[in-house]
Amino acid sequence: MKPLLTLLFLLISMTSAFSQTAIDLKTGKVHASKLDVSPLHKTRIQARDRALALRDSLEYGECIGRAFDLLLLDSLSVAQQHVERALKLRPDAPGNHILRHILGKIFWARRQHKDAIRCFSEILDEHPEDIALRFDRATVYYEARQFSALLDDCTALLSQITPADTAHRKRALYLKSAAHSHLSQHTQELQALSEIVDMSPFEESAEVLSALALRKLERQEEAVARLNLLLQRCPRSVEALMARASCEKDAERWDAARDDYDQVIEIAPQHAEAYVERAAVLLRLGLKHAARKDLEKAQQLGTPYAELKSLFEKF
């Protein structure tokens, strides 16, 4: 019995050894055998990978769906987490640049300008032709007060947008004029606004801003003349009346400025700024009681006391 048990033990040991080692018949050397992956095992691996990919695809879709639902509820931070999770699950999914654009918009809405710019810039590196995306980045640059970068985007936009697409060209020119204004480049600001007026001769906002650019260039009489022409056509334009009143104040024509503010308040009784500006003019005219009433009205309309303090101190 004992010899039989010994033989069985040796057979088991040899079977185990042969499963892990191989003998070179030429040299007689023993070395570790290579893993023999059977076709069945390969099929199992492929099936597992397909199952994992399917699971990720399903979760990817669920994350996107949840993100959109949360955006409708203004739950921006949680929506952001779901978008980021979706991008992590399938980083190479077709159309992910659209999802990343949405992520950038979430950063923007949360006032995370640096992250929004980074996100938009990464997509623009891959899709420089995307005008909507470049407009978004340009607007974030404006809000972040990065005016030189804004000008670069405006230049790119104007080179991409066809002359026939006046709506987009005007939008780019308004952004360009705003950047020049903040950089105190008022001649270039006026040029950008003049292009808008050339495209749309009755563009009220562009005409008012052009007059204000002339004012900043100390060309007050030209500014007033332009506003007079506009007011002949649009006599109830609050923007034009406010701008002309500012020019009249510069020239110390207090009565004329007061008349313009009177008209604004008649047209727009809730215009808080008009009450503040008229109060300053009334103080110049020595009408302190009327000026105080205007300041009190401005407070009622929501103007913080801190903005009115210097005028109140003149009583």
61 lies in some domain: yes
| Full 3-state SS string of the chain | CHHHHHHHHHHHHHHHHHHHEEECCCCCCEEECCCCCCHHHHHHHHHHHHHHHHHHHHHHHHHHHHHHHHHHCCCHHHHHHHHHHHHHHCCCCCCHHHHHHHHHHHHHHCCCHHHHHHHHHHHHHHCCCCHHHHHHHHHHHHHCCCHHHHHHHHHHHHHHCCCCCHHHHHHHHHHHHHHHHHCCCHHHHHHHHHHHHHHCCCCHHHHHHHHHHHHHCCCHHHHHHHHHHHHHHCCCCHHHHHHHHHHHHHCCCHHHHHHHHHHHHHHCCCCHHHHHHHHHHHHHCCCHHHHHHHHHHHHHCCCCHHHHHHHHCCC
**Which has more pLDDT, 36 or 86?**
86
CA distances from 46 to 51, 57, 291 (A): 9, 16, 82
Final residue of a structural domain among 110, 127, 144:
127
Residue pLDDT, tens place only, 3-48: 443 433 433 344 444 344 444 444 445 444 444 444 444 444 444 4
What is residue 69's predicted lDDT score, i.e. its pLDDT?
Answer: 67
Residue labelled with tokens 């970068």 = 149
> Phi and psi of 24, rounded to 5°?
-75, 115
What is residue 123's predicted lDDT score, i.e. its pLDDT?
Answer: 94
In this structure, which amino acid lies at residue 311?
A: L
- Nearest CA-CA partner of 141 in 108, 168, 190: 108
213 lies in some domain: no
Q: What is the arithmetic mean of pLDDT over 283-310?
A: 97
What is residue 311's predicted lDDT score, i.e. its pLDDT?
Answer: 95
Q: What percent of the chain has pLDDT over 70?
A: 76
Structure tokens at 54: 């399917």
Residue pLDDT, tens place only, 94-133: 777 788 888 888 899 899 999 999 999 999 999 999 999 9
**Which has more pLDDT, 268 or 8?**
268
19 lies in some domain: no
203 lies in some domain: no
Q: What is the arithmetic mean of pLDDT over 280-297?
A: 97
150 lies in some domain: no
pTM above 0.85?
no
Q: What is the arithmetic mean of pLDDT over 123-146?
A: 96
Q: Are 110 and 97 in contact (CB under 8 A)?
A: no
Q: What is the arithmetic mean of pLDDT over 247-269?
A: 97
Q: Are 119 and 100 in contact (CB under 8 A)?
A: yes
237 lies in some domain: no
What is residue 13's predicted lDDT score, i.e. its pLDDT?
Answer: 42
Final residue of a structural domain among 127, 157, 190:
127
**67-76, 148-157, 192-201, 257-266: least confidently modelled range:** 67-76
191 lies in some domain: no
Residue labelled with tokens 């009327």 = 290
**38-42, 50-54, 204-208, 238-242: least confidently modelled range:** 50-54
Q: Determine the Cα–Cα distance for residues 69 and 63; give it in Å rounded to an integer.
A: 10
Residue 234 has pLDDT above 90, yes or no: yes
What is residue 181's predicted lDDT score, i.e. its pLDDT?
Answer: 98
274 lies in some domain: yes
Its domain, for residue 284, covers 269-315
Final residue of a structural domain among 97, 127, 157:
127
Q: What is the CATH number of the domain that holds 61?
A: 1.25.40.10
Structure tokens at 263: 């008209």
Count of domains for the chain? 2
In this structure, how many other beta carbons lie within 10 angstroms of the beta carbon of residue 302? 8
Q: Determine the Cα–Cα distance for residues 296 and 308; give it in Å rounded to an integer.
A: 9
Orientation angle between helical segments 272-284 and 238-250, nearest 10 degrees: 20
What is residue 73's predicted lDDT score, i.e. its pLDDT?
Answer: 65
**37-41, 49-53, 58-62: least confidently modelled range:** 49-53
In this structure, which amino acid lies at residue 4?
A: L
Residue pLDDT, tens place only, 155-175: 999 999 999 999 999 999 999
Residue pLDDT, tens place only, 67-85: 666 666 676 777 777 676 7
